[in-house]
Amino acid sequence: MRSWQPSLDIEDFRALREQFTDFMLGYKFAIDEITTKINILREDFNNAHEYNPIEHINSRLKAPESVLEKVRRKNYAMNLASIRENVLDIAGVRVICSFISDINKIRDMLVGQEDITVLDERDYISRRKPNGYRSLHLIVSIPVFRSDRVDRIPVEIQIRTIAMDFWASLEHKIYYKYRGEVPPNLQGELAEAAEAAAALDEKMESLHRLVDHNSRPRPT
Ligand code: GTP
Ligand code: MG
């Protein structure tokens, strides 16, 4: 594979652009596969238990500029093999659940599939981040069957509740507005909001359990 040289002629540039487009396509296919898996789990679980553990699914493919910006920022080698190995969030899928207990259900059903390999797992729910961030993060790899080869592609999967997601979206906006330098009083307000979101999650979980328990037919 050619490396990126400062003195590329137009033919070299075209060849690199084609390689990069092909490379990024693999991540789009990986998102398609993971999304299909999660949709199947949602429908199947709903059919078996008359209950839907997933509120919605989002996905995003990292923009090429953001991929290259991360490679530069983290000082990774600027070639496709290095990007594949080091930048593990090019394909991102977010699963939003209603209840905390749904998160591990989804996690276990995914991780148990034989074509999925877990490369990394971060449980920011058991151990929330100092700013209050809660979410379960998995980096998995999945085989993508191309016309001429099979590639194992990494995908970042974030699983969280509606309350966790609501908080994270706002925190993200604030973080960007202040370019990472969030004033201490706002940090405090965000920590309080994270507390309230966690309390809401626990309350909803216990109500859910109560209803779930009461709706089961009593043994005769
Ligand atoms: P990069 O930040 O992408 O280098 O990943 P990392 O190795 O630090 O992994 P981590 O699991 O901490 O974060 C991955 C992703 O989770 C981020 O890109 C965000 O989408 C999300 N995330 C992590 N921490 C926070 C946080 O404090 N607030 C918000 N809103 N999102 C977060
Ligand atoms: Mg980070």
Interface predicted TM-score (ipTM) of this complex, two decimals: 0.94
212 pLDDT band (50/70/90 cuts)?
A: confident
Task: Write the residue with the smallest CA distance to atom 6 of ligand 1.
Answer: 89
pLDDT at 216: 57
Report how far residue 204's alpha carbon sits from residue 193's, in angstroms, rounded to the nearest whole number: 16
Residue 1 pLDDT > 60: no
pLDDT at 8: 76
pLDDT at 132: 96
Residue 4 pLDDT > 90: no
Q: Tell me the mean pLDDT in the region 112-128.
A: 97
Q: Tell me the mean pLDDT in the region 27-39.
A: 98
Which listed ligand is nearest to 156 at the C-alpha?
A: 1
DSSP line for the chain:
-PPP-TT--HHHHHHHHHHHHHHHHHHHHHHHHHHHHHHHHHHHHHHHHS---EEEEEEEEPPHHHHHHHHHHTT--SSHHHHHHH-TTSEEEEEEESSHHHHHHHHHHHHTSTT-EEEEEEETTTS--TT----EEEEEEEEEE-SS-EEEEEEEEEEEEHHHHHHHHHHHHHHHHTTT---HHHHHHHHHHHHHHHHHHHHHHHHHHHHHHHHSPPP-
Report how far residue 109's alpha carbon sits from residue 111's, in angstroms, rounded to the nearest whole number: 6
pLDDT at 7: 73
Q: Tell me the mean pLDDT in the region 119-135.
A: 97
43 is catalytic: no
Nearest atom in ligand 1 to the alpha carbon of residue 70 is 4
Q: Tell me the mean pLDDT in the region 76-96.
A: 97
Q: Tell me the mean pLDDT in the region 94-122.
A: 97
pLDDT at 196: 98
Predicted confidence (pLDDT) per residue in 130-147, tens digit? 999 999 999 999 999 999
Report how far residue 96's alpha carbon sits from residue 159's, in angstroms, rounded to the nearest whole number: 6
Burial class (CB in 10 A: 0-12, 13-18, 19+), 164: buried
Predicted confidence (pLDDT) per residue in 34-53, tens digit? 999 999 999 999 999 888 99
pLDDT at 31: 98
pLDDT at 47: 94
Distance 134 CA to ligand 1 centre (A): 10
Mean pLDDT of the chain: 94
Nearest atom in ligand 1 to the alpha carbon of residue 172 is 30
Which of residues 126 and 220 earns the better pLDDT score?
126
From edge to edge, which strands make up the β-sheet containing 54-61? 54-61, 91-97, 150-161, 136-145, 117-123
**Percentage of the chain exceeding pLDDT 90:** 87
215 pLDDT band (50/70/90 cuts)?
A: low
